[in-house]
Amino acid sequence: MKPKNITSADVARLAGVSRSTVSRCFKADSRISDNTRKRVIEIADQVGYQVNKIARSMITRESDLVGVVSSGLHDPFAVVLIDQLITTLQQRGLHPILLDASNETQLEISIKKLAQYQVKSIIITSGSPSSAIGAQFVSLNIPVILLNRAGQLDQANLINCDNRTGSTLAAKALIEAGHRNLAFINSKNSTYSGTKRGEFFEQALALKIEAGEITLHQVLPSKTGYVGGYEAALDLLKNLDHPTGVYCATDNVACGFIDAAKFEMGKKIPEDVSVIGFDDLPIAARAPYNLSTIRQCPTDIAQATADCIQTIDTSPKPKRIIIPVKFINRGTVAPIKIA
């Protein structure tokens, strides 16, 4: 706190120009003679001057800070997503400040804190802001971007992966492999995406369910993620006529399901049960799982998010973006055994 900073005034004095001139040397557009600019920059480098972004933000009333709120890094897809966000934002000269929001009240608090920093935008990857807090941000002109979330506030920008197509592809793959007894595994307190995937899966199967050709179990274990999948397998596979085709809300759930199926219930994957996940995490490709899954690409999402932030000045209308997905068929879908 104490030490005097090197300010533009110092550089100005050394270069024999005014502070304004120094300031203009660090903005791209300004009309400054090439000579003075070169000289000023040189002197600035020499004395280790760096523009004070706090002060700059003060006057411009905007910053290149971006708020990113997640519920920790427990969810593996959140990890790869935030990883991409960090690098993508950085490439574009934006700086993410991360906040944890495990519950709704924590979310509100976090969001308010961000407002104090004049953040350029706020990216939410967990929970959903209440419409009250949303309204506040609208009045502050801070755009909100919801990633794979529902939005009850319609000024928010929405970026979602294509849950419908993904779930339809999963349904198709399982049906084509001959499976008739299916399950969707999610969690009691599911994310928005998880719920949607279940809905779309059911929609894709609706006709065949009505025709009695297919049965579908919606499984909602009390826990979420890996342990949820684990729990679900224990429950689901204890009867002899268990489902043979399982679609999991996430790869994480799928891994838990597979581990329990193999190590606790003595099942073989995919001989006894076919499994499809969602996300295509790095772990899905590894030998112990070799999981067939719906890939949503975190890079695409991050790019779309950055685009969204940067175009928001020119086109303030909230955007609705759908990121495409792709079925990656590895080794956990097999034709049904003929009994």
Nearer to DNA, 58 or 73 (CB): 58
Nearer to DNA, 25 or 284 (CB): 25
205: left (phi over 0), alpha (psi -120 to 50) or beta: alpha
Nearer to DNA, 30 or 46 (CB): 30
CB under 5 to 8 A by kind: which of DNA, a second copy, none does 172 bind?
none
Query: Least CB distance from residue 264 to a second copy, whole Å?
Result: 8
Amino acid at 55: A
Q: Considering just the CA atoms, what is the radius of gyration of the chain in Å?
A: 26
CB under 5 to 8 A by kind: which of a second copy, DNA, none does 98 bind?
a second copy
Could you write out the three-class secondary structure of 204-242?
Answer: HHHHHHHCCCCEEEEECCCCCHHHHHHHHHHHHCCCCCC
211: left (phi over 0), alpha (psi -120 to 50) or beta: alpha
72 forms part of the interface with DNA (CB under 7 A) = no
The single residue among 2, 38, 48, 51 that binds DNA, judged by CB under 7 A, is: 51
CB under 5 to 8 A by kind: which of DNA, a second copy, none does 73 bind?
a second copy
What SS3 class is residue 147?
A: strand
19 forms part of the interface with DNA (CB under 7 A) = yes
Asked if 276 contacts 248 with a C-beta cutoff of 8 angstroms, the reply is yes
Query: Least CB distance from residue 78 to DNA, whole Å?
Result: 33
48 forms part of the interface with a second copy (CB under 8 A) = yes
The single residue among 42, 45, 47, 60 that binds DNA, judged by CB under 7 A, is: 60
Which H or E element spans position 321?
Answer: strand 320-323
Separation of alpha carbons 217 and 276, rounded Å: 15
139 forms part of the interface with DNA (CB under 7 A) = no
Nearer to a second copy, 57 or 130 (CB): 57
Query: Least CB distance from residue 58 to a second copy, whole Å?
Result: 5
Q: Which two tokens stand for residue 1?
A: 């706190």
The single residue among 45, 46, 47, 58 that binds DNA, judged by CB under 7 A, is: 58
